[in-house]
Structure 1
Amino acid sequence: MSEADQWFYKMGEAELGPVSEAELIDLYRDGQMSGETLVREAGQEAGKQMVEAFPHLIEVPPLTSPGDGWTDSSPHPWRRFFARTIDLNVNAFIFVFAWTLLMTTTAPNQSDFWAPFFVDQAYSFPRALLTTAFSFLGNIPFMAYSGTTLGKWIFGIRITHVVGRPMGLWIALKREFAVYVRAYFLMVPIANLFTLAGAYETLTSEGKTSWDRDYALMVKQRPDSDVQTLVGVVVVILFLVAAIWTNLPPEFSKAP
């Protein structure tokens, strides 16, 4: 994209871009912005309404989004929270399982250390650091190229660049770090309840989280339906049952 073909546009209080003129018009035609959206070309100080900058669009109304199933752009904070919770726990389980399998097969003499590492209370802090890091990092390749993860797919969420293309590895990495810091506050107990509440307030009041706004990302969901609701409820129940079962004291999990 040349400097002469760089455009910026306003979404709420944020200015997003740069995008090319063709991408800007695609956003309009896809219904991601209206004719009143303020836009400006690189080098200009003041913005114009979209239909002022491109008068020919007055006779070209925005098209509805293609019927690919991901058409709902309204905020769904609880869907996103449960999707993230599923992803973090699934990634942590995969990490523990894969690491234990790797160490027991490649370094069996060290198994006396690695087996207790994942269960003994004495190793709780380094274990938490490792599993938390992998839980967030494990989302990056999926978000970078598909815009969704296992949890997000179950709850009907897909996130891409505002022009519809995948966000790429660098943006996916920065986004995961932003979620880790701004929403989960480095996973510090109690304190992260306040940051999660703040993220909830931003999403419900502004329609976007701060990290999606900062990186010019578009969130699309499958519309609410009986099937989507049923799937979400069943998954949450199964997750809670699994979480309770795995945290039961050994004497409760033993068969009589």
Structure 2
Amino acid sequence: MNYCVSCGKNYDQGTEICSECLTPTGAEITSNSVCSSEAISGTHPWRRLFARTIDYVALYLIIGLIIGVFIPSDSAPLVFTGNEFLDGRLINILILALACIIEPIILTSFGITPGKFLFNIEINKNGSELIEYLDALKRTVALTWSGMAFGVPFLSTVAQYMAYRRLTTTGETSWDKSCGFTITHHPIGWGRKIGLITVLLIMAVAIIVIQRSPVGQ
């Protein structure tokens, strides 16, 4: 079976133009070579950003749930209101710190994070799908520092821009290169698209509930 190098839709032998995105099919690729074709076709910085954002939002919601269940509303910090500049920055730094611990565990256990799964992004260490905890920890810490400056205001924006420039210029991030990781982008099928929309709707509702709960007031 052949796939369009632009949108990933499969097409029949002899097809000259993809019926989905109208891109010329050009050289044909098989299902076994989709990974290499997608990796060559682009670095997909926004796709990677959205995948990581979903992971962070999920962690944000878990923290909100824990606070709502175990901490009395009159004692809960105002970290979910968005009204206090300092509190908002503190919760961002807290999420990044927790991600440095939790993400390596997820990568070691499942080889992929929820956000990467939804966006069909594969992560390998030196060509192997098995990721050791220390390797995953080094990558996550390096990413949090080099790509986000640990959430420090202004510095994080500069770090994200520099990481974006490096990725789009060289084709890889500094943390992936230094830690020996390879990122491969696969086509996003309809199943994942539906799953992504569902997850986004659930997250939006959950955030609204937290904002209106006693924790967020």
Q: Kindly report the root-mean-square deviation, in angstroms, between the aligned alpha carbons of the 2 structures.
A: 3.7
1:76 has 2:44 as partner: yes
Aligned partner of 2:98 among 134, 142, 145:
134
Aligned partner of 2:149 among 185, 188, 195:
185
- Does the 8 Å CA contact 1:87/1:150 hold for their aligned counterparts? yes
- Does the 8 Å CA contact 1:171/1:215 hold for their aligned counterparts? yes
Normalization by structure 2: what TM-score? Answer: 0.65
Which runs of 5 or more structure 2 residues have no equivalent in the other structure? 1-28
1:115 has 2:76 as partner: yes
Aligned partner of 2:61 among 93, 100, 104:
93
Specify whether residues 152 and 159 from structure 1 end up closer, same or farther in structure 2 by C-alpha distance, changes over 3 A only. same
1:208 partner SS: coil
Specify whether residues 234 and 127 from structure 1 end up closer, same or farther in structure 2 by C-alpha distance, changes over 3 A only. closer
Question: What is the match of residue 253 of structure 1?
Answer: none
1:212 partner SS: helix
Question: What is the match of residue 19 of structure 1?
Answer: none
Question: 1:65 deviation in Å?
Answer: 9.0
Question: 1:163 deviation in Å?
Answer: 2.4
- 2: CA distance between counterparts of 1:79 and 1:204? 13
The aligned length equals 179
Question: What is the match of residue 42 of structure 1?
Answer: none
Normalization by structure 1: what TM-score? Answer: 0.56
Question: What is the match of residue 179 of structure 2?
Answer: 215
Larger strand percent: 1
Specify whether residues 209 and 246 from structure 1 end up closer, same or farther in structure 2 by C-alpha distance, changes over 3 A only. farther
1:67 has 2:35 as partner: no
| Paired amino acid for 1:206 | T
Specify whether residues 202 and 147 from structure 1 end up closer, same or farther in structure 2 by C-alpha distance, changes over 3 A only. farther
Specify whether residues 129 and 189 from structure 1 end up closer, same or farther in structure 2 by C-alpha distance, changes over 3 A only. closer
1:167 partner SS: coil
Computing the radius of gyration from Cα coordinates, the structure with the larger value is 1
- Does the 8 Å CA contact 1:117/1:123 hold for their aligned counterparts? no
Which runs of 5 or more structure 1 residues have no equivalent in the other structure? 1-63, 105-110, 251-256
- Does the 8 Å CA contact 2:147/2:159 hold for their aligned counterparts? yes
- Does the 8 Å CA contact 2:118/2:195 hold for their aligned counterparts? yes
| Paired amino acid for 2:99 | S
Question: 1:99 deviation in Å?
Answer: 4.8
Question: 1:118 deviation in Å?
Answer: 4.5
Deviations 1:72-105 (A, max 9, x none): 324111110000111011012113313543x35x
2:32 partner SS: coil
- Does the 8 Å CA contact 1:91/1:138 hold for their aligned counterparts? no
Specify whether residues 119 and 83 from structure 1 end up closer, same or farther in structure 2 by C-alpha distance, changes over 3 A only. closer
- Does the 8 Å CA contact 2:61/2:206 hold for their aligned counterparts? no
Specify whether residues 175 and 78 from structure 1 end up closer, same or farther in structure 2 by C-alpha distance, changes over 3 A only. same
2:162 partner SS: helix
Return 179-188 or 120-129, whichever deviates more. Answer: 120-129
Deviations 1:203-255 (A, max 9, x none): 112111111111111112213x57389559847964895598469789xxxxx
